[in-house]
Structure 1
Amino acid sequence: MNARVYMCDPATYDLVYINQAIYRDFHLPEDFSCAGKKCYEVIVGGKEPCEFCTNHLLRRDKFYMWTYHNALSGLDYLLRDTLVPWRGKNYRFSMSINLSEYLDRDIERNELIYREASINDALAIALREEDPLKGIQKMLWKIGSELNADRISIFERGEEQGTVSNTYEWCRNGVEPMKAKMQRVPLTPCFLYDTFREQHIVRIPDYEAYLAEHPHLEHYLPDIRRFIAVPLKISDKIIGHVQIVNPKEQVFQASSYLMMTLSRFIAIMIRNRDAARELERMSQRDQMTGLLNRRGLSNYFMDLPKGIPCAFFFGDVNGLKRMNDEHGHEAGDALIKTVAEIMLQAQQQAGKGHVFRMGGDEFLMIVEQIDETQADTIQQVLREAFRTHHVSVALGTLVSMTPIPDMDAIITKVDREMYKDKGKKKR
């Protein structure tokens, strides 16, 4: 049959049967054996049970129906799962169809044209943007306008456990933005994440009636009549969700399918955004020491507050070439790291600021809100630390008020002070 069928033990996840349709979808060899295989290994390519496993929802007297995008096969499935008795115990019986094939076959009897056109338009608008942030925002604008919704919001899980924060929002004209108020929202009153495990999508056509049936839920958004929410997943892990408030009643059902599809692309765009941020972060860091580099210095300069005294300490490591020649580059790298750690510790003790690796053996330390007297004290602390660690560093110091219009000019000045110190060391 064309439907995909597999059976497994819901207690152990041991796979006991797959049919030929599954062989085709997952490109399994003809001599493939289920023996010793777990369902999540073969069906989703995972190393542990799926976060969205429906075993706990299954009964012998009914089928549980749901949709799922399988990243391994790249296909969307409509699944019907139940429990069947076999060999004295209950086994999971799962039968699914490729949703795309099903919809293609019935294109004239559903709203697929609307769905595909909307998806294509939203993606085209988003992908024109090189900046993923702008792309996501434009996608929300297109979807919100298409659905005549009041609000579309993206929530992402943050570093604070058990919370989500609103990172993107589109609002129809006249609707009050809520993004600023929707930060670090506890997952418990949000209620969605438990529901995602059971339904994979939350559709509430009458929100007032829903709240009346669930009085314990917190009404955390105003003026909701209809509500749709879908999870954002990367590698089958929920990273957040998208929610639509008050889409047009005539397209409520179609908007559910629309968001189930677009949510995958939104998750990919968020992943690309995070990758771009990481690349940007790495481009501003020196890989050996972890300090900011010259590019990081340029961004730091632009963000310096105006009207404050800043102390600049320029250090040049003496004897690096000799260390490399006589003891090897590993010893030279260790010397660089030692100087970096000394300057970083001194900066952290002195106050707000940063340390930058300017080149092979050159370092710049900036400390904010420091006057001449305090700068002299920090310089003495640095020199003592260098002596203690048996490293030789020529050091120049300069204090200047912000704003500093020419970054290179200030670096040149403190560099000259460093060379004066280097000359003293040679004498």
Structure 2
Amino acid sequence: MMDKPDDLTGLVDAIDDVSELVYVADPETHDLLYMNRAGKTALNIDSLEGLKCYKVIELQDAPCPFCTNQYLRTDETYSWETTNPVTGRHYLLKDRLIKWDGKLARLEIAFDVTDYEKEKKDLRYALDTQQVVLDCIRILYKEQDLDKALNQVLQIIGQYLSADRAYIFKIRGDKMDNTHEWCREGVVPQIDSLQGLDVSIVIPWENELQNHQCIIMKDIEEIRGEKVYDVLSPQDIQNMVIAPLEENGQINGYFGVDNPPREKIRNIVSLLETLRYFIMITFQRHMDERRLQHLSLHDTLTGFYNRNKYILDIPEIANAGGSVGVVFLDFNGLKEINDFYGHSYGDQALKKCAEKMRAVFGNANLYRTGGDEFVIIASDQSETAFLSLVDTLRASLTEEQLPVAMGYQWQETSSDLKTLITLADQHMYEDKRRFYKDSVSSENPTRRPRNSSCIE
């Protein structure tokens, strides 16, 4: 060990007992002049004879390109941070020039801040993750286009986690499809080849899935020999994290990422666990909205469009051009049927009517515009074809003894659709008046069909 300068003996003895790493080096030759006990222990050094600071401390073959000598002064301390390649620890460094044996020398004190730095990084990651979650939630709730919202969320998650792919699978029966995908630049998309996969390929993770847990695969070789390995291996997947999606307690899909950095896997799970709930809620919300939209535009009894849809469609059909035929139908005596035989019987009669209309005019727009009123709008058909369908429908209703009044009208262009509708409506009421005029049975003015089984 090199001798300590007499005027620094007391100071050096004190420094030898501190836990921080301390060394002194010649700023010109980079020779190590002194290192305290903690430094020697950390760097596994017995003697400093002939050792250079850059070799011992930074494992460099030449003076460090980041050496701070040029910034050092005798009246001011220079502070910086680095992670040491020998110890693997992160240090806050305090450097300055001091007098050592009559010459200026570099003094460096290293404070181990690894744990603090880790806490700081963990806090930063937690805050960043929270912001990512909030950004994703905001997109899921504000974006009306479900596919667009999910693709944006996958992009945010994939980029934040430095993954190769982020994706969603949906289960349909015993098959599952890759429905949404984001890929890092340079990664080949897989979505087209991941359709109609057998759901049984996830058997290796059955226990985790039964407990609704995330699937963590740190090394694909762990599942070599399983069917899922043959699916994942061609995609160049080394590791992955997948969170199950659920509906009413049943797994109906997956949300996951491929090839994130291994050091991030521990933190990925909590992020996916949080986001999967909001993705599930978003799927459910969109399903509910579709159901509501369907209900707002469809008649629940017959499955026909309702009056709301009829009003919305009229301008669109009128602007489409081309020929159009309109049929108005009214079920005669529905109130009396409901009163005499019950609403269930009346509903069955209406449903049977609707079935006959659908069987004949299946390609037309079919509407139930009121309790006993129906409208058929058939576009782009010749007059002959349209009238033939009307005759077929009338015969079918008569055969089933369904008392329906009917009026119809056809024209070459749909531009004056409102007039066409008015004429068809008028013809229907004329037919209805003839029906009641011809009804002579005061006991049953609605002429209940003799073959009641046809509508019950």
State whether TM-score is above 0.5: yes
Q: Of 274, 277, 280, which aligns to 1:264?
A: 277
TM-superposition CA deviations, 1:13-70 (whole Å, max 9, x none): xxxxxxxxxxxxxxxxxxxxxxxxxxxxxxxxxxxxxxxxxxxxxxxxxxxxxxxxxx
Could you tell me which residue of structure 2 aligns to residue 375 of structure 1? 386
Q: Of 255, 259, 268, which aligns to 2:268?
A: 255
Return closer, same or farther for 1:359/1:117 CA change in 2, 3 Å cut-off. same
Distance 1:146 1:243 in 2: 13
Q: Of 91, 97, 121, which aligns to 2:135?
A: 121
The higher radius of gyration belongs to: 2
- Structure 1: tracts of 5 or more residues without a match: 1-105
- Any conservation in 1 of the 2:140–2:279 contact (CA below 8 Å)? no
Q: What is the percent sequence identity of the aligned residues?
A: 25
Distance 1:182 1:300 in 2: 39
TM-score, normalised with respect to structure 2: 0.57
Root-mean-square deviation (CA, aligned residues, Å) is 3.9
Return closer, same or farther for 1:354/1:215 CA change in 2, 3 Å cut-off. closer
SS at structure 2 position matched to 1:219: helix
SS at structure 2 position matched to 1:276: helix
Could you tell me which residue of structure 1 aligns to residue 152 of structure 2? 138
- Any conservation in 1 of the 2:297–2:308 contact (CA below 8 Å)? yes
TM-superposition CA deviations, 1:58-111 (whole Å, max 9, x none): xxxxxxxxxxxxxxxxxxxxxxxxxxxxxxxxxxxxxxxxxxxxxxxx976845
After TM superposition, the structure 1 = structure 2 runs for residues 24-103 of structure 1, keeping only pairs within 5 Å, are none
Q: Of 254, 277, 281, which aligns to 1:241?
A: 254
Deviation at 1:357, TM superposition (A): 0.2
TM-superposition CA deviations, 1:117-175 (whole Å, max 9, x none): 322232233223355554434322322232233322211222xx211123333334454
**Is the counterpart of residue 317 in structure 1 residue 331 in structure 2?**
yes
SS at structure 1 position matched to 2:136: helix
- Any conservation in 1 of the 2:209–2:215 contact (CA below 8 Å)? no
Deviation at 1:232, TM superposition (A): 0.8
- Give the length in aligned residue pairs: 314
Q: What code does the residue aligned with 1:140 have?
A: L
Could you tell me which residue of structure 2 aligns to residue 284 of structure 1? 297
TM-score, normalised with respect to structure 1: 0.60
SS at structure 2 position matched to 1:217: helix
Could you tell me which residue of structure 2 aligns to residue 226 of structure 1? 239
Deviation at 1:323, TM superposition (A): 5.2
Return closer, same or farther for 1:216/1:164 CA change in 2, 3 Å cut-off. closer
Distance 1:409 1:175 in 2: 60
Deviation at 1:298, TM superposition (A): 6.5
Distance 2:259 2:242 in 1: 11
- Structure 2: tracts of 5 or more residues without a match: 1-117, 438-456
Per mean C-alpha deviation after superposition, the further-off stretch among 238-247 and 375-384 is 375-384
Could you tell me which residue of structure 2 aligns to residue 345 of structure 1? 356
**Is the counterpart of residue 187 in structure 1 residue 189 in structure 2?**
no
Return closer, same or farther for 1:321/1:212 CA change in 2, 3 Å cut-off. closer
Q: Of 408, 415, 428, which aligns to 1:397?
A: 408
Distance 2:363 2:418 in 1: 21
